[in-house]
């Protein structure tokens, strides 16, 4: 029925509809972002980032039926391309325009398309478990590549990114620092903490230690233990192969964002205001009321909405039916003139493009990219999210993204005051994820959206496969 | 020996067997013939327990076995040789045979194996070779041999002639027919190739679209010209 | 040249453990035609069980035996709770479900035993043997690992070729319908397959733990190596799993020796990709059912 209806509708109509829907959602999200606590904005940024990656999972796993454990690795590709281009290129090659973050995103996307083509070409020859195993190798192997080129990719410590500037673009870290230092009211600005301009490009732990003056009112151990992005716990640096848990907030320091107010608080720059004590320090740190969580969220939302628009048109258009046809019966699809391998490769390319863009967003949210944050755990998170939300629907991807961000917080909230040991509470979300994934596959293979849709259909007296 | 009472089987909305009544006596071959899609294979798979009937009875030795698991049914003495030379090519000839009676006592198994080797000497010669090295006719003998290893009281043969040269088919079926008479074995033979089947059978049953159209002595059926034209296509 | 020989010798015991994990994957594949991505998670879990036994009793052999039992039981539990209920038509779901089990097992182990890497004391000395005037990269413990693996492989081979259970399991794997018609209780054979696979993985886990440390995620990389070995061996072949398991161990040892151990994962990935491209049915495989 649906297909017939789609065919009869003038495609331009559909595109306009999708644009309107996405546009409205975008506006609503921006409104929301500007009116909530910055704390929630950082959640919003993460949800948008996960959703971006998971739109790709919907297409790859749900519609095209290829189980990929490699999308976390594809995100890493996007993140590294973003980091490398934004750090090393001042102008656009050949054209010679001024470089900015948008160009980095474009190149991340191109990198994703390239890698997606290569992996998809391999994957098109493979069936279920073989593909899962190959992409599993990708999830473990790609982060390992960063160690192969420590000079270029920063090895296990990863790379620090430039931070956004209040004007909306990007600036070298020191100018943000400069503005924050100038405006920070009453905080002791230690001259030693002002690090030389180009040193920020490859910031690492030792530089933080050097940058912080023990005589300043901020002790060096605060820098390293409390809210610092670069501690080993935060990223599993140094053991990315053994410590590949599903990413929890600790892994990328969301919790730290929340308690300390900001990824890039004055602590990080050594200006000495403690935001946990003084929340207004955010506005003190940056003039003109710039709040980095809001900026990050609006950037992540913008990317997610653009990707959602593309995904909507692909999924609800001809290509979506091609993917489903090949998933359900490759032989029959081939008989009617659809190339099964072409369809599988295109699903991989699209999914990889989305993953790379999500990776670039993730790198900006973290202001950092390193192998630990993009390991097997991230790939598994994406799989978990898409299965729970609903494998074959874009709405399922959004629900999955919400679940990935919200569930750890829920567990934290429930267990917060009960004095449970940390090893219980830390692992509870993952245990829940694992059990939920099994339960959903067994009892409700369509995930949340598939199940709800099945109920609705049942109420209306229709039947269809939970995965359609 | 084996009897079905109003046996009905359907796959979704499609009725494969509707109200099937059939009796298979000991010591002789009963042939079920009919065109493609008449429900012959469904009948066999239902009798062996691979398909569960919607309604009706399968009585074997007076006991109802409909709905039982295939691995239990074979242990009560009803063995099926499914369509398409059902050997396991990765196993040797000897292993294929051994598989047929794994649940039996070692000594009884030995006796059955000697019987099979007497019946099909070629299997004895090829005992240690992998089943996929055998010719089509030899594989069909192996499949029958595997079924005989369970010391059945009733043997179900589903399209043994499929893809085999007529001469070999005749040889194999005559062996089976002789075995039925000598050991008081009930044999239910399902065939598309009516001429061959009726030549060795005592009783014939004509099946069409899941129903018994006619049953009677093999001679009676093969000489009924109208029946032949209508349902058997020759 | 001495380096080469040292690296090669040093890879054998690691390879033996990869071979055991690959064997576990193959055993499951043969019984239910699926790859159990939770296999190393199960092995990790039972290794923790063994660690607990060893820490409380100091008896390594007891720890090993308990781990084997726990591995078999865990395999059966996973089979009953997860694998059997998955709908046949949902092959994607089956793969995802095994990853769900993996995530849950790792989190569960983290809850019970904590996330910090723990050491596992080997029952015999794990320092290189001195022989002919130099120290060789083979320790008494390596010899124990190799002999245990050899014994297990011989045992499994005998089980599959000489016993009725083995014949029933093989028949159930190759053609469940014919096996059922022959009176084999195929369901029990599938359970046996999962139990034996779980036990084999458990042995592999206990054997590798002293060579490194154990943490909830420490076996992830082993899954990649074992999968690589099993796939190159053809997924169906016990001999293939053992051969390429040890082969993978040797290659990894050489790569780690000449460059650094971080590259091992990349090499495994390249090996896997090349194999899937060039010889998709594996070297010992005979089922042309890998593509659509």
Domain contains A466: yes
Q: Which residue has the higher pLDDT, B176 or C6?
A: B176
Number of CB atoms found within 10 A of residue A325's CB: 18
Q: Which residue has the tokens 């009919």?
A: B34
Domain contains A362: yes
Domain identity same for A44 and A171: yes
Domain identity same for A354 and A401: no
C187-207 burial string, b = 16+ CB within 10 Å, else e? eebbbbbbbbbbbbbbbbbbb
Q: Which residue has the tokens 């909530």?
A: A36
Domain identity same for A430 and A364: no
Tell which of A70, A136, A148, A415 to mutate to test the C interface (max C CBs under 10 Å). A136
pLDDT in tens, chain A (468 residues): 444 444 445 567 888 888 888 899 989 988 888 888 888 888 999 999 999 999 999 999 989 888 888 899 999 999 999 888 887 777 777 776 777 778 888 899 999 999 999 989 888 888 778 888 888 888 888 888 887 777 777 777 778 776 554 444 444 443 433 333 333 333 333 333 333 333 333 333 333 333 333 333 333 333 333 333 333 443 333 343 334 345 444 444 443 433 333 344 333 433 333 333 334 444 444 445 677 788 888 889 999 999 999 999 998 888 999 999 988 888 898 888 888 889 999 999 999 999 999 999 998 888 888 887 888 889 989 998 999 998 888 999 999 999 999 988 888 788 766 777 888 888 888 899 999 999 998 888 888 888 888 888 888 876 555 555
Q: How would you class A395 by CB atoms within 10 Å of its CB: exposed for 0-12, middle for 13-18, buried for 19 or more?
A: middle
Distance between C33 CA and the closest CA of chain B, angstroms: 16
Instruction: Give the per-residue pLDDT at A249.
Output: 43
Q: Which of A332, A356, A374 is the last residue before a domain boundary?
A: A374
Domain identity same for A368 and A410: no
pLDDT at C26 over 60: yes
Which residues face B4 on adjacent strands?
A: B22, B58
Does A342 contact C at CB distance below 8 Å? Answer: no
Chains with 3 or more CB pairs under 8 A to chain C: A, B
Domain identity same for A329 and A454: no
Instruction: Give the per-residue pLDDT at A288.
Output: 52
Of A133, A391, A427, the CB nearest to C107: A427
Element (H, E) at A428: helix A422-443
C30 CB contacts (<8 Å, ≥6 apart)?
Answer: C169, C170, C173, C193, C236
d(Cα A297, Cα A292) in Å, to the nearest integer? 8
Domain identity same for A164 and A68: yes
Domain identity same for A31 and A134: yes
From A128, which residue of chain C is nearest by alpha-carbon distance? Answer: C92
C-alpha count within 13 angstroms, C-beta hemisphere, residue C183: 24
Query: Which of A129-133, B145-149, C2-6 has the highest average model confidence (pLDDT)?
Result: B145-149
- The number of domains in chain A is 2
Domain boundaries, chain C: 2-115+139-278
> Tens of pLDDT along C217-255?
888 888 889 998 998 888 888 888 999 999 999 988 888
d(Cα A101, Cα A108) in Å, to the nearest integer? 10
Domain identity same for A54 and A160: yes
Domain contains A302: yes
Domain identity same for A55 and A120: yes
Residue A28's domain comprises 13-189+290-374
Find the largest Cα–Cα distance for chain A: 76
Domain identity same for A342 and A439: no
Tell which of B77, B90, B98 to mutate to test the C interface (max C CBs under 10 Å). B90
Domain identity same for A179 and A87: yes
**CATH class, C2-115+139-278 region:** mainly alpha
Count of B-C CB contacts under 8 Å = 69
Domain contains A111: yes
Domain contains A411: yes
Element (H, E) at A388: helix A376-389
> Are residues B107 and B129 in contact, defined by beta-carbon separation less than 8 angstroms?
no
pTM: 0.79
Domain identity same for A295 and A389: no
C-alpha count within 13 angstroms, C-beta hemisphere, residue A282: 20
d(Cα B33, Cα A372) in Å, to the nearest integer? 69
Domain contains A396: yes
Of B82, B89, B102, the CB nearest to C168: B102
Domain contains A199: no
With CB atoms and an 8 Å threshold, state whether C174 touches B90: yes
Domain contains A300: yes
The ipTM value here is 0.90
| Closest by Cα among C214, C216, C213, C240 to C227 | C240
| Closest by Cα among A183, A154, A1 to A83 | A154
Place C46 in a pLDDT band, splitting at 50, 70 and 90.
very high
């Amino acid at each position: 029925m649906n297909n017939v209806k789609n065919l009869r509708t003038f495609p331009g109509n559909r595109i306009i509809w999708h644009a309107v829907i996405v546009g409205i959602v975008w506006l609503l999200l921006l409104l929301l972002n500007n009116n909530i606590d910055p704390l929630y904005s950082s959640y919003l940024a993460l949800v948008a980032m996960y959703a971006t990656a998971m739109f790709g999972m919907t297409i790859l796993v749900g519609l095209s039926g290829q189980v990929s454990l490699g999308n976390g690795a594809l995100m890493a590709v996007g993140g590294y391309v973003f980091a490398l281009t934004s750090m090393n290129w001042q102008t656009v090659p050949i054209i010679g325009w001024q470089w900015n973050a948008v160009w980095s995103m474009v190149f991340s996307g191109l990198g994703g398309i390239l890698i997606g083509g290569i992996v998809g070409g391999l994957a098109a020859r493979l069936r279920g478990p073989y593909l899962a195993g190959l992409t599993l190798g990708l999830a473990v192997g790609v982060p390992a590549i960063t160690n192969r080129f420590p000079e270029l990719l920063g090895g296990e410590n990863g790379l620090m990114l430039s931070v956004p500037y209040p004007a909306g673009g990007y600036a070298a870290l020191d100018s943000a620092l400069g503005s924050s230092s100038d405006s920070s009211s009453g905080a002791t600005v230690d001259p030693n903490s002002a690090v030389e301009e180009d040193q920020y490009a490859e910031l690492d732990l030792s530089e933080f230690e050097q940058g912080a003056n023990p005589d300043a009112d901020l002790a060096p151990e605060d820098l390293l233990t409390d809210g610092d992005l670069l501690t080993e716990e935060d990223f599993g640096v140094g053991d990315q192969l053994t410590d590949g848990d599903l990413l929890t907030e600790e892994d990328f320091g969301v919790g730290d964002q929340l308690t300390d107010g900001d990824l890039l608080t004055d602590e990080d720059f050594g200006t000495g205001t403690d935001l946990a004590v003084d929340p207004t320090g955010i506005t003190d740190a940056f003039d003109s009321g710039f709040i980095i969580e809001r900026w990050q969220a609006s950037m992540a939302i913008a990317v997610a909405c653009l990707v959602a628009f593309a995904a909507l048109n692909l999924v609800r258009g001809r290509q979506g039916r091609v993917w489903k046809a090949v998933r359900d019966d490759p032989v029959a699809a081939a008989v009617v003139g659809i190339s099964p391998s072409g369809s599988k490769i295109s699903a991989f390319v699209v999914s990889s493009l989305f993953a790379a863009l999500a990776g670039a967003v993730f790198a900006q949210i973290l202001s950092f990219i390193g192998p630990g944050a993009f390991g097997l755990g991230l790939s598994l998170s994406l799989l978990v999210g898409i299965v729970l939300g609903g494998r074959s629907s874009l709405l399922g991807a959004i629900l999955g993204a919400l679940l990935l961000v919200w569930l750890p917080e829920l567990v934290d909230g429930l267990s917060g005051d009960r004095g449970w040991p940390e090893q219980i509470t830390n692992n509870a979300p993952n245990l829940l994820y694992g059990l939920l994934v099994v339960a959903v596959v067994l009892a409700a293979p369509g995930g949340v959206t598939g199940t709800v849709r099945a109920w609705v259909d049942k109420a209306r007296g229709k039947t269809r496969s939970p995965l359609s | 020996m084996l009897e079905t009472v109003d046996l009905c089987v359907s796959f979704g909305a499609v009725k494969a067997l509707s109200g099937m009544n059939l009796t298979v006596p000991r010591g002789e071959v009963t042939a079920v013939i009919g065109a493609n899609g008449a429900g012959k294979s469904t009948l066999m798979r239902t009798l062996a327990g691979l398909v569960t009937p919607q309604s009706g009875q399968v009585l074997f030795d007076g006991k109802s076995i409909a709905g039982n698991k295939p691995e239990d049914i074979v242990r009560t003495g009803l063995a099926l040789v499914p369509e398409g030379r059902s050997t396991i090519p990765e196993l040797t000839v000897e292993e294929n045979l051994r598989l047929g009676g794994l649940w039996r006592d070692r000594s009884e198994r030995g006796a059955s194996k000697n019987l099979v080797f007497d019946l099909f000497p070629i299997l004895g010669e090829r005992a240690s070779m992998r089943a996929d090295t055998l010719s089509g006719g030899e594989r069909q003998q192996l499949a029958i041999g595997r079924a005989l290893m369970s010391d059945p009281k009733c043997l179900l043969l589903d399209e043994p002639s499929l893809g085999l040269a007529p001469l070999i088919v005749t040889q194999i079926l005559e062996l089976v027919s002789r075995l039925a008479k000598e050991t008081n074995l009930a044999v239910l033979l399902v065939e598309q190739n009516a001429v061959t089947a009726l030549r060795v059978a005592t009783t014939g049953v004509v099946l069409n679209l899941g129903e018994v159209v006619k049953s009677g002595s093999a001679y009676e059926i093969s000489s009924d010209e109208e029946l032949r034209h209508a349902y058997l296509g020759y | 040249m001495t380096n080469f020989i040292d690296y090669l010798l040093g890879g054998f015991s690691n390879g033996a453990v990869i071979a055991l994990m690959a064997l576990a994957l193959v055993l499951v594949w043969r019984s239910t035609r699926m790859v159990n991505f939770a296999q190393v998670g199960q092995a990790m879990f039972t290794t923790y069980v063994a660690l607990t036994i060893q820490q409380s009793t100091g008896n390594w052999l007891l720890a090993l035996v308990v781990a084997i039992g726990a591995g078999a039981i865990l395999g059966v539990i996973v089979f009953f709770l997860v694998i059997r209920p998955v709908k046949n038509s949902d092959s994607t779901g089956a793969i995802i479900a095994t990853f769900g089990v993996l995530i849950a097992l790792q989190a569960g182990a983290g809850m019970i035993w904590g996330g910090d890497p723990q050491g596992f004391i080997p029952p015999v000395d794990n320092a290189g043997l001195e022989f002919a005037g130099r120290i060789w990269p083979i320790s008494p413990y390596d010899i124990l690992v190799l002999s245990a693996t050899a014994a297990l492989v011989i045992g499994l081979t005998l089980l599959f070729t000489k016993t009725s259970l083995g014949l029933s399991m093989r028949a159930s794997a190759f053609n469940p319908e014919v096996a059922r018609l022959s009176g084999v209780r195929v369901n029990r054979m599938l359970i046996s397959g999962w139990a034996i696979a779980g036990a084999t993985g458990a042995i592999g886990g206990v054997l590798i733990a002293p060579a490194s440390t154990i943490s909830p995620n420490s076996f992830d990389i082993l899954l990649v190596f074992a999968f690589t070995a099993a796939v190159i061996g053809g997924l169906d072949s016990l001999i293939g799993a053992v051969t390429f398991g040890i082969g993978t161990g040797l290659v990894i040892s050489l790569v780690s020796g000449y460059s650094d151990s971080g590259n091992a994962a990349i090499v495994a990935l390249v090996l896997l990709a090349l194999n899937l491209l060039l010889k998709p049915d594996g070297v010992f495989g005979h089922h042309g059912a890998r593509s659509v």
